[in-house]
Structure 1
Amino acid sequence: MADIDLRLLRLFHAVYETGSTTKAAIRLGLSQPSVSIGLGQLRAHYGDPLFVQMTGGMTPTPLADHLIGPIRRTLDDVRTLSRHRATFDPAQSTHRFRIAMSDASHLTLLPHLFAAIRRDAPGASLEASPIDGDLAERLAIGEVDIAVGLIPDLGSGFYQRVLYDQGWVSIHRSGHTLGRLTRDAFSRAEHVEVTNGTGRTLLRAALETAGIAPKIALSLPGFLGLPSVLTSSDLVATLPQHIGRALAEHAELSVVNCPIPIDGFQVKLHWHARYHADPENTWFRETAFSALARLG
């Protein structure tokens, strides 16, 4: 045989230690014939009797005496490998954790996540990056640890966990000339749209179903410019409720339930299967879930 089986090394060690094939069989939980067969395989492999029956029992040959040291070290190494488990101590970590999220989440989620990380891992740092077309690859190769949001196109090979359900609201300046935001008022209003929001397809589908073609006066690539735009105009923005309420509170805007029915969605935590058992990734996503799920 080209390679020697680990079980045969254990058998060799047991015979050497006990000086008896019978005692070796008991130690290993094998039958006597199984030990004899294994010993025959070892002899064939090394071209040496290895153990000779004498008055005191099975006496090792010079080659067996030479082999026992390396075999003991090999078995010790195997036991060490068997006991080894990857561990992570957040209190001692200087790891840089990386999360992909929308710019809206920078306002609504990121402060809570950063506070949770620094509470238990004061030496760690956090890096936020956008949700883009390369996200699946970035998660797979470890450039991003986790992603949070509405991300329906990741495909297979990913785990996900629901953080919270998300509905929709409309926000505008207080004292808007339209008064109460009814369906008719919504149809007559001028709107600002955010082109990069991951839920925009749901909004557009709802408006099409309702037969409403909104008057888009301004398009923005992200959410963070909305407060100054809305406070200085009569534009209306329709957003996922979490960011809508946060922006309204920040800029003292009026926030109401959107008068047009829009399908809600689930904000989820995503990670790649390669890192499912990784201790750093496990700690990061559990910390993220504990900090963010309650915010919904």
Structure 2
Amino acid sequence: MSHLDLNLVRVFVAIYETRSVTHAAERLDVTQSTVSYGLAKLRKVYVDRLFSRGGDGLVPTGMAEQLFQRFREALTTVEGTLEQNTAFDPQHSTRRFRLAMSDIGVLYFVPPLLRRFQEVAPRIEIDILQISDTLGEDLSTGRLDMAVGNIPSLGSPVHSALLFREHYVCLMSANHPTIGCSMSLEAFSAARHVMVSSPRSGHFLIEDALAERGIHRNIVARVPQFTVLPQLLSQSDLLVLLPSRVASLYVHQGGLKALALPVPLPDFQVQAHWHARHEYSAAHRWLVDEIVATLGKL
């Protein structure tokens, strides 16, 4: 074959990134038979199986590993030129966007985002994924359109836009047995704390900030998610450090109170992050603008 259909390149990249014919078909909005047919043609062109079945999905061959980076870069370049002057109509678009955020981000960000999208882009689809260890790669390959949160580990070529600055407060039961309307440093240090283990966000940095000030918390439990906290705190003497906006949300639900920390800690930035590969995409520029405008008001 002296030339390669661009759609075959899209099929290959989608299969490689999703490790599934089914998921590739969903991403490309085509039938599974179309993807299977495209894969068969690619196998014939390159005289290689390209993918074999494994325990966690399709496994790329050595040839596929070599092809992916070149195909991904070529596809990004071509699609960038196609999208540069292509108008995006949010009212009629059925495009699917993929966003990554922590569970606390889902709790705070998703409701206002979905309300806004229902108003201005009622037919688009939004997939919310958990921030993973491969976040940078997911953004660079197009598996994700954007990540939202306090994610200090991302660097160039990822672009960022500030949504707002945040600070931590201490959340506890409204009827805490030993802490009233204010909290001393002694009470804070002696109290029993819950820590949320969230290594892929910036929340773990608070431990470093406390240690620099010679403060060590009495951590009696570690949990993997923020959303379990109201149940843990409301009927106990446990404390947790949380961003003030989310703490206010929990307080509003009842049974909890939020107090200022007895020691000043630096605030942090909550940002929207996206890869430079989307520079020419009108659809992605629209997404960035909507997310910044909607979440920047919170």
TM-score by length of 1: 0.69
C-alpha offsets along residues 28-65 of structure 1, whole Å, 9 cap, x if unaligned?
xxxxxxxxxxxxxxxxxxxxxxxxxxxxxxxxxxxxxx
2:132, 2:262 → 1: CA distance?
Answer: 31
Tell me, in whole angstroms, the C-alpha distance in 1 between the residues paired with 2:289 and 2:162.
12
Instruction: Please give the root-mean-square deviation of Cα atoms over the aligned residues, in Å.
Output: 1.7
Tell me the equivalent position of 1:159: 159
Q: Verify: 1:285 aligned to 2:288, yes or no.
A: yes
CA contact (8 A) 2:160 2:271 kept: yes
Report the counterpart of residue 185 of structure 2 in structure 1.
183
Q: Distance in 2 between matches of 1:192 and 1:276?
A: 41
Asked if structure 1 preserves the Cα contact closer than 8 Å seen for 2:96 and 2:124, the reply is yes
**In the alignment, is residue 130 of structure 1 matched against residue 99 of structure 2?**
no
Question: Contact conserved, 1:199 with 1:240, CA < 8 A, in 2?
Answer: no
Q: After superposition, give the CA deviation of every residue in 1:136-170 in whole Å (9 maximum; x if it has no partner).
A: 11111111111111122222111111000011100
Structure label with greater radius of gyration: 1
8 Å CA contact retained: 1:148, 1:270: yes
The alpha-carbon deviation at position 86 of structure 1 amounts to 1.1
Is structure 2 residue 214 aligned with structure 1 residue 231? no
CA distance in 1, matches of 2:254, 2:100: 26
Match of 1:214 in 2: 217
The answer for unaligned runs of 5 or more in structure 2 is 1-80
Task: Identify which of 241, 246, 251 aligns with 1:243.
Answer: 246
Q: Where do 1:56-75 residues align within 5 Å?
A: none
Q: Deviations over 1:212-266 (max 9, x none)?
A: 2211111110100000000121000111212222222224311111112221111
Quote the residue 1:96 is aligned against: 96
Matching residue within 190, 193, 196 for 2:195: 193
**Does 2:272 align with 1:269?**
yes
For residues 293 and 279 of structure 2, the distance between their equivalents in structure 1, rounded to whole angstroms, comes to: 17
Counterpart Cα distance in 2 of 1:153 and 1:211: 25
Q: How far apart are the structure 1 equivalents of 2:151 and 2:225?
A: 17
Unaligned runs of 5+ in 1: 1-80
Of stretches 133-142 and 195-204 in structure 1, the one that deviates more from structure 2 is: 195-204
Per mean C-alpha deviation after superposition, the further-off stretch among 199-208 and 178-187 is 199-208
Q: TM-score normalized by structure 2?
A: 0.68
What is the one-letter code of the residue matched to 1:127?
D
Secondary structure at the aligned position of 1:92 is classed as: coil
Aligned residue for 2:274, secondary structure, equals strand
Moved >6 Å (runs of 4+): none
SS at structure 2 position matched to 1:236: strand
Q: CA deviation at 1:131?
A: 1.6
Contact 2:96-2:126 at 8 Å conserved across structures: yes
1:33 matched to which residue of 2? Answer: none
Q: Secondary structure at the match of 1:170?
A: strand
Match of 2:120 in 1: 120
Asked whether the equivalents of residues 206 and 260 of structure 1 are also in contact (C-alpha less than 8 Å), the reply is: no
Q: Contact conserved, 1:103 with 1:222, CA < 8 A, in 2?
A: yes
Identify if the C-alpha distance between structure 1 residues 247 and 199 changes in structure 2 by more than 3 Å, giving closer, same or farther: farther
Give the Cα separation in 2 of the matches to 1:163 and 1:146.
Answer: 13
Identity %: 34
- Aligned residue pairs total 214
Report SS of the residue matched to 1:90.
coil
Is this contact kept in 2: 1:202–1:262, CA < 8 A?
Answer: no
SS of 2:139's equivalent in the other structure is helix
Residue identity in the other structure for 1:184: E
